[in-house]
Amino acid sequence: MSMHECGGNIGDDVHIPLPHWVTEIGETNPDIYFTDREGRRNTECLTWGIDKERVLKRRTAVEVYFDYMRSFRVEFDEFFQDGIISEIEIGLGPCGELRYPSYPAKHGWKYPGIGEFQCYDKYLMKSLSKAAELRGHSFWGRGPENAGSYNSAPHEIRFFRDGGDYDSYYGRFFLNWYSQVLIDHGDRVLALANLAFEGTCISAKLSGTHWWYKTASHAAELTAGFYNSSNRDGYAPIAAMLRKHGVALNFTCFEMRTLDQYEGFPEALADPEGLVWQVLNAAWDACIPLASENALPCYDREGYSKILENAKPLHNPDGRHLSVFTYLRLSPCSHGETQLSRV
């Protein structure tokens, strides 16, 4: 259930923008989009700062999402009644994923850049200022001034380096606020999704932001909205929110091996296997269904074996495993088509 623009990211060969009536509003009020520190707007999706602001022809963004979901449910009623549509994955951000658009190719990001915080539209800045005032430190109502740019590395940047400002009093305040905005957005939209699709299974997707996982700050995850530094579990709160709404978690990068990442980009200090294991356990500890998919084309035996290993861990004492796996890009000619396999 897409609430985002298609196109402009890695592997995209089509372009489907947001509805014309939305982009018209964006021409006069560009703050409806996520914005980086330099003022660059990202038109992939609407900022969560307008979730409760009546700026879309007297409707809030959340009301627009609900009207869209409800209209879809009514229009395709026979497919729901006959069980042809058996599950709805709710889009919660760019690429349909619950994350900030922190690493957009359209703004020059290249792997393994840390990305940038996306909170500089006037609505999110108003939220940050209010949070700072409630904390009693109004001067904290600003974004980090030393967080680098899209293609920076953590050790180069004062905010993200070991012992950096991400772990200062201000840094912890900002990252708590930034990540809570993400969780609150998912909470609001999924509550309404359960109303629109009552009786239908619902899922939500998280991105596998695995680069810089072996550093203390986990910088790429922080800019994406996952407050998952080395001394904090950033995925358990998200899993708890999904459990509240009975929503399944869909995660990616299940085919990736840490050794392969190290050989290709040793400077990225990536650890997709460690990240997958952490998210697996967060979902299982919250007792929510877990689905997954491969992030990149996967035709090799090693990647396929890694998928099987993650899907059904052999030595899990509780017999936990995936509920569904989506095998993306089965051939070079498949144009991104998917095949669902029940595990």
State the catalytic residues: 97, 293
For the record, the structure tokens of 194 come out as: 């359960």
Largest CA distance in the chain: 57
Q: Confirm if 107 and 42 have CB atoms less than 8 A apart.
A: yes
In three-state secondary structure terms, 124 is helix
A 10 A CB-CB count for 77 gives 11
Q: How far is CA 57 from CA 22, 29, 51, 269, 323, in A?
A: 9, 12, 13, 46, 40
Integer Cα distance of 52 and 80 in angstroms? 30
User: How do strand 201-205 and strand 87-89 relate by DSSP bridges?
Assistant: parallel
CA distance 143 to 104: 19
Secondary structure element (H or E) that encloses residue 291, with its range = strand 290-293
Yes or no: say if 226 and 180 are a contact pair by the CB < 8 Å rule: no
Cα–Cα distance for residue pair 265/262, rounded to 1 Å: 5
What is the CB neighbour count within 10 angstroms for residue 323? 17
Q: Any residues with CB less than 8 A from the CB of 294 and at least 6 apart, and which?
A: 252, 253, 254, 255, 303, 307, 327, 328, 329
Report helix, strand and coil shares of the chain as percent, to nearest 5. 40, 10, 45
DSSP 42-62: EEEEE-GGGTT---BTTB-HH
Cα distance between residue 123 and residue 52, in whole Å = 10
Which amino acid is present at 74?
V
